Chain A
């Protein structure tokens, strides 16, 4: 299946991601920031699709946009925001922050200029049609141990959260 209008879609989705990232940090209302983040994540899943990784795109929507962001929104809505907005905002680390941002920006520019030469050639082109199968085989075959450790970590986190927040109904 031949891709259509690739440059247009790439610039569109990338621009959307950048725009939403800027909105996340500039909005005063926390809910608006969360919504902009959701928009950014959806645009990012579109970028995954363009890289022929449909499974990752689908999982990004389900988990990130549909699960984690919902929890973000829960927390934002349950915490008493008016009080935090009344508190005076301060930023006493302007100098250090600017230097760190310049350093990170310089790193990105250097990587961009050096181009693909920095990274080893990708080992195999995964066909789009069997993306899910290949991901499954890798996760449950080669990286099984890491997968199980990660899920165990998540389980511990869940149990810890439940124990901390539990109260008798």
Chain B
């Protein structure tokens, strides 16, 4: 494939025939198997001593051809596949897909289904952020919050299991609404959870937020400006921590979000510490949304009238939701048959990962690991 403008790889050594001890420039490979890359991600670093001059990510180790599979499955059959992309927060993947197909079919899920969807999606956001916090702290060296967050995440997974039978890849929603009615005791469980979790979040904050070592490891590390975020298309907590108040739940509301009152936390500096604070605040706001949803759960049907054989009219639609990691978008092209012509997923981690190079230039090697953690990438989503 000819390139009109030669794109110099950041990894070209300026003087290739010196050894690594003479020229101070070193190409280092953080291979696909590494404890800190959150999956099979290969990161090639060009270093000058300790300073990072450039980073190249090699992805594709987890590519499973999900989008191609989508072309050979009917719309309902493709629903379980989307959970496997961002396997950490599977519920929001399902929500995005179902809403996109509903937009294509021009049907609306009933209010009760929307409320149930919101409750489960916000619980899923909490679970994702808790996992993020544990693994990020572990990368930076604090090994204890991992166990605390996983312990509390268990409660969420128990609710998911009681609701739809699966903890991780939930396949919770169907096109047109929800398949399962809430089980007996769902509201009680969720309310118990909402009361149980805020002291735990306070505990995590107590361990980390004002810990001097944590602050020194995360302040001014991996800074990215708002303009760069917008230019690269970075979304989610990364964008919000750089100062841009953009959340699709407020900007282009979907599901039952217009009914709820919540805030969008925004950071100031765009460094790792701000991203940490933004995500902690998002956890609390999620709890707020869940409380309002559970208290105002309306009665009614949970499934809209959906044709047995789904043949949407020919056309294309793009719909995005605010997944825990950023803007998760689905672009579906229909040719009028039961199987989509093209399903294209816009995964937030894939787009956010492109910012890695910009964020670690000039930082030290140990910061690369902190920045990969703070971007909160899931390789299942990056590679699909």
Note whether A and B contact each other (Cβ less than 8 A).
yes
A residues whose Cβ falls under 8 Å from a Cβ of B? 78-80, 167, 169
Cβ-based interface call for B22 (8 A)? yes
Chain B residues closer than 8 Å to A80, beta-carbon distance = 19, 21-22
Cβ-based interface call for B50 (8 A)? yes
Within the complex, the shortest CB–CB distance from A111 to chain B, in Å, comes to 45
Main secondary structure of the interface of B (DSSP, over half): mixed
Chain A residues closer than 8 Å to B49, beta-carbon distance = 167, 169
9 closest pairs, A vs B, by CB? A80-B21, A169-B51, A169-B50, A80-B19, A78-B21, A80-B22, A169-B364, A169-B49, A167-B49
Within 8 A of A (CB), among B8-23: 19, 21-22
Chain B residues closer than 8 Å to A79, beta-carbon distance = 21
B residues whose Cβ falls under 8 Å from a Cβ of A? 19, 21-22, 49-51, 364
Task: Tell me, in angstroms, the Cα distance from A167 to B51 when the chains sit together.
Answer: 11
Q: Which residue of chain A has its CB nearest to the CB of B18?
A: A80
Would you list 10 pairs from A and B whose C-beta atoms are within 8 A, ordered by A residue? A78-B21, A79-B21, A80-B19, A80-B21, A80-B22, A167-B49, A169-B49, A169-B50, A169-B51, A169-B364
Chain B residues closer than 8 Å to A169, beta-carbon distance = 49-51, 364
Q: Which residue of chain B has its CB nearest to the CB of A168?
A: B51
Main secondary structure of the interface of A (DSSP, over half): loop
Within the complex, the shortest CB–CB distance from B217 to chain A, in Å, comes to 16
Chain A residues closer than 8 Å to B22, beta-carbon distance = 80
Task: Tell me, in angstroms, the Cα distance from A169 to B22 when the chains sit together.
Answer: 17
Task: Tell me, in angstroms, the Cα distance from A80 to B19 when the chains sit together.
Answer: 9
Within the complex, the shortest CB–CB distance from B152 to chain A, in Å, comes to 39
Q: Which residue of chain B has its CB nearest to the CB of A82?
A: B19
Task: Tell me, in angstroms, the Cα distance from A167 to B25 when the chains sit together.
Answer: 14
Q: Which residue of chain A has its CB nearest to the CB of B364?
A: A169
Task: Tell me, in angstroms, the Cα distance from A78 to B364 when the chains sit together.
Answer: 21
Within the complex, the shortest CB–CB distance from B87 to chain A, in Å, comes to 38
Within the complex, the shortest CB–CB distance from A43 to chain B, in Å, comes to 33
Within the complex, the shortest CB–CB distance from A74 to chain B, in Å, comes to 13
Known pairs A79-B21, A169-B51; list 8 more (Cβ under 8 Å): A78-B21, A80-B19, A80-B21, A80-B22, A167-B49, A169-B49, A169-B50, A169-B364
Q: Which residue of chain B has its CB nearest to the CB of A83?
A: B19
Task: Tell me, in angstroms, the Cα distance from A167 to B24 when the chains sit together.
Answer: 11
Within the complex, the shortest CB–CB distance from B131 to chain A, in Å, comes to 33
Please indicate which of the listed interface residues A78, A79, A169 has the most CB atoms of chain B within 10 Å of its own CB: A169
Within the complex, the shortest CB–CB distance from A75 to chain B, in Å, comes to 12
Chain A residues closer than 8 Å to B51, beta-carbon distance = 169
Task: Tell me, in angstroms, the Cα distance from A72 to B50 when the chains sit together.
Answer: 23
Within the complex, the shortest CB–CB distance from B119 to chain A, in Å, comes to 49
Task: Tell me, in angstroms, the Cα distance from A78 to B19 when the chains sit together.
Answer: 12
Task: Tell me, in angstroms, the Cα distance from A79 to B51 when the chains sit together.
Answer: 21
Task: Tell me, in angstroms, the Cα distance from A85 to B19 when the chains sit together.
Answer: 16
Chain A residues closer than 8 Å to B364, beta-carbon distance = 169
Task: Tell me, in angstroms, the Cα distance from A78 to B50 when the chains sit together.
Answer: 15
Within the complex, the shortest CB–CB distance from A64 to chain B, in Å, comes to 27
Task: Tell me, in angstroms, the Cα distance from A159 to B21 when the chains sit together.
Answer: 24
Q: Which residue of chain A has its CB nearest to the CB of B20?
A: A80
Task: Tell me, in angstroms, the Cα distance from A80 to B22 when the chains sit together.
Answer: 8
Task: Tell me, in angstroms, the Cα distance from A167 to B50 when the chains sit together.
Answer: 11
Q: Which residue of chain B has its CB nearest to the CB of A80?
A: B21
Chain B residues closer than 8 Å to A167, beta-carbon distance = 49
Within the complex, the shortest CB–CB distance from A78 to chain B, in Å, comes to 7
Task: Tell me, in angstroms, the Cα distance from A50 to B246 when the chains sit together.
Answer: 78
Within the complex, the shortest CB–CB distance from A130 to chain B, in Å, comes to 45
Within the complex, the shortest CB–CB distance from A73 to chain B, in Å, comes to 15
